[in-house]
Structure 1
């Protein structure tokens, strides 16, 4: 009987010990939940690292339940992870947790080989870092705030272990290598990770705009929303694809001729965006054309039409009035049609 009690006591102590370990590891996992970003990296003994790529590259860990998103140099990938005896393990990478006291996390690399010098990483809980950020925002049509991208701070995560988002898009864009070009694309990743509002805002060759948008659309379903203060937010992303493109050099030695040449280029872009029913961009480029050549008659007419489609008729009337001043007969009828209630702005001296 006494032997039975002794064995029972030992079994109880064993079960209790296992239970305590499970609770301890569970507590660590719970404390790890959320996003952490690198604040400092050194060798394990505190010596500085002189490898600029290692020292300056981004590194982040986002724990969500039993899943982990690893960010290395802008590339994000999913992984499972485990914590045992205060050792964090993912993909056969092992780190001893030296400190876990939010907002601080300190990891010391555990290596099974002497070929590489182990490192120590100090990390900060991202919502704490966000307190020092002043984001720029605007309101979407539905009234939701949209945050402008701040690299490595307020930025949606594109999940792909091989590519950053801009490299992935570029690989599917397949712009002819023998051509030089420049494009700027803009889109929003919503707080639910959806891709919306994709559009080209600058283009050196409109023929390839749709091909670029098609490449952007291939990223659908691969995004995690940006976060600010620990909450998912809508984020506007803008990527500049500079493919060896430089704007034409207008330096003929005649400033007036140079400005007229620039006006023609802007007018050409304005016509394209008007035909694509992108009236906001059309207005931008046509305005640039008129700035460089105030006698761009066709640009006035086209910009006025864009203003009307954009539901800002007073601006259209200002263009029709300017055309009347420039002696354009057709503008008189258009002014009478659209501008009966228009009151031109006057400058008081």
Structure 2
């Protein structure tokens, strides 16, 4: 009887703990910082500067916006584990009135060195000091001017941002290059009104841009300010190959260094496959090519250091670990300190 009572009390305590955490995460959170699992800085600008916000609602649904792309799904909280859309699993390491911290739910950071660690702040703190611009129409409707990552209507498409969706529906010849600047209103009802092309390099195509903007109807949700839905003016630029044309037009004939992340990751994959097959020399060659294409590909440094360790080339292993240390990678620094630092 005593054991049964203890079990019931433990079950109730666990349920209450999970319920309390769930109550605390309900609300809108804006990404403040993102690092690797071990706290190392992320070197890729597109990841480090990613704009991300979650809104967790009491009915187990959530809303997410990533770099202008929005979506919805369901979430669950069990103990201190947050499961988002039945796919992404995070451990809640902190949640209170000022911060939400999530880490990838892995038992050993060495299993997933690319696992991420997120820090969020409530949207109300993110918006401190921001005062939206607004104006009134002749009909006395208040229109707020959209401000990215502060006050903006949401565009719901899992694969495309609003600019991408509209550009793909814009009937504009591939052989031409053009630049267009448009404005429109997303009303409190999520409707598109007042479409206007403000600037255009090819005015005869303006009507096709207006038609493309109209094709996004039904995908918008109105902006919210201080808990109320509002009318919002949106301004968008549509670069239809214009910048690319200008770049080639103004480029010098001298070759330029470039980083090709996709090609680098291809050679990283090939290198790992060769290492698994114990073709170490070929694996090192592929991993070196990966680093040549992208000097910030930390996975390639880790992989090549591991191969050098297997082949007992300590000098080259330490050179790669030193590079990781210089790139402020925590695990690489620990390994260098352990195996490479000269002991006095």
- Asked if 1:27 is matched to 2:24, the reply is no
Larger relative contact order (CA 8 Å, sep ≥ 6): 2
Q: Secondary structure at the match of 2:100?
A: strand
Where in structure 2 are there 5+ consecutive unaligned residues?
Answer: 244-344
For residue 138 of structure 1, report the CA deviation from its aligned partner. Answer: 0.9
Tell me how far 1:18 sits from its aligned partner. Answer: 3.5
Q: Which whole-Å deviations, capped at 9, do the CAs of 1:87-119 have from their partners, x for residues lacking one? A: 111142111111111231111121378244222
Alignment of structure 1 residues 158-237 onto 2, 5 Å:
158-237=155-234
> 1:182 offset after TM fit, Å?
2.5
| Segment drifting more, 161-170 vs 117-126 | 117-126
What is the deviation of 1:29? Answer: 2.3
Q: How many residues align?
A: 239
Q: 1:224 to 1:34 in 2, by over 3 A?
A: farther
Whether the 8 Å contact between 2:192 and 2:217 is mirrored in structure 1 is yes
Does residue 37 of the first structure (1) align with residue 30 of the second (2)?
A: yes
What secondary structure does 2:121 align onto? strand
Which of 48, 51, 62 is the equivalent residue of 2:55? 62
> 5 Å matches for 1:19-168?
19-64=12-57, 65-91=59-85, 92-111=87-106, 114-168=111-165
Deviation (angstroms), 1:222: 1.3
TM superposition score normalised by structure 1? 0.62
Q: Secondary structure at the match of 1:166?
A: helix
Deviation at 1:217, TM superposition (A): 1.5
Structure 1 residue 194 displacement after superposition: 2.5
For the 8 Å contact 1:130–1:228, the answer to whether it is kept is no
Task: Name the CA distance, whole Å, in 1 between partners of 2:54 and 2:63.
Answer: 6
Matched-pair contact (CA < 8 Å) for 1:198–1:213: yes
- Whole-angstrom CA distance in 2 between matches of 1:84 and 1:103: 22
- Considering only CA atoms, is the larger Rg found in Structure 1 or Structure 2? 1
Structure 1 residue 13 displacement after superposition: 5.0
RMSD, matched Cα? 2.3
For 1:232 and 1:127, how far apart are their aligned partners in 2?
16
TM-score (norm 2): 0.63
Q: Contact (CA 8 Å) 1:127, 1:230: kept in 2 or not?
A: no
Tell me by how many angstroms 1:80 deviates.
Answer: 1.1
CA distance in 2, matches of 1:132, 1:225: 22
CA contact (8 A) 1:131 1:229 kept: no
Give the unaligned 5+ runs of structure 1.
1-5, 247-349
Which whole-Å deviations, capped at 9, do the CAs of 1:174-230 have from their partners, x for residues lacking one? 311112222222111223323222222223333322221221122212122223344
* 1:172–1:129 distance in 2 versus 1, CA, 3 Å: same
